[in-house]
Amino acid sequence: MNNWERNVLCIVAFSRILCYNENKKKVKQLVYYCNNLPEQIAPEQIALLPAERRARLEKYKREADRILCAAAYRLYQYGMKTEFGSAPQTYWKTDENGKPYPENGGDAAFSISHCAEGAACVIGSNRCGIDYQNLSEVRTDVSKMVCGEGELHALSACAHPDRLFCRYWALKEAYGKYLGCGIVYELKEHDFSGTDDALFERFGCCFSVMETDTSCIAVCADRFYETDAFVHVPYADLFQE
């Protein structure tokens, strides 16, 4: 290889680095969520889903579950289009633990979640996990199975234990999704007591929380998601091409 060829290769490599860094700057890395869902899903909305997602949707008997199934996937497409300029046209892949990742997504990572209230999706440049939980009555037997000593003490002393347990459970699920193992890990040993802030670090990760009177969305990632990074998307907007 002569000097001219070396110079050309250096210029090409440098250009690629610049393009890569510029593309990374464009990634907003936001949390997208949708609630206030309709009572029924329209056939034309189902038609916008890939065959794999439609097959999953058809397995649900309750209309509410069918709507959430569609909304969660369309949030993923909406978020990827917002972040990278185009929505994925192929269904996502899954790793050996079942954690989804975008086909041909490069450095993109995502996580989705849904509950009775709505659906949510987080987009990141590295692995991330999200959980969306709606408030429900805390059961003592369940809390003893999944909560550490600090969490149990905080729940017993709390004026609103249902809300606090909702937060704890969302954090535990988000952490499990970040790890890629779901809730198959030592839940009680991963204690989130004393973490009352919207942004905090624990277990070597960054946690971001958005709470309302009826629900909690928790994100686990290698960076924080500030309050303004949580973007509400109207349901109708999810199905606009």
In the predicted structure, residue 198 carries a pLDDT above the cut 50: yes
d(CA 167, CA 170): 5
Q: Report yes or no: 37 and 232 within 8 Å, Cβ to Cβ.
A: no
Q: Which residue has the higher pLDDT, 15 or 183?
A: 183
Across residues 165-172, what is the average pLDDT? 98
pLDDT for residue 85: 86
Residues ≥6 apart with Cβ < 8 Å to 1: 9
d(CA 165, CA 185): 18
List pLDDT tens digits, range 89-121.
889 999 888 888 888 766 789 999 999 999 999
d(CA 89, CA 85): 12
**Is residue 193 very low, low, confident or very high in pLDDT (cuts 50, 70, 90)?**
very high
Q: What is the pTM of this model?
A: 0.86
Residues ≥6 apart with Cβ < 8 Å to 116: 64, 134
In the predicted structure, residue 27 carries a pLDDT above the cut 50: no
Half-sphere exposure of 48 (CA within 13 A, CB side): 22
Q: Can you list the domains of the chain with their CATH numbers?
A: 27-239 (3.90.470.20)
d(CA 148, CA 154): 10
List pLDDT tens digits, range 203-230.
999 999 999 999 999 999 999 999 899 9
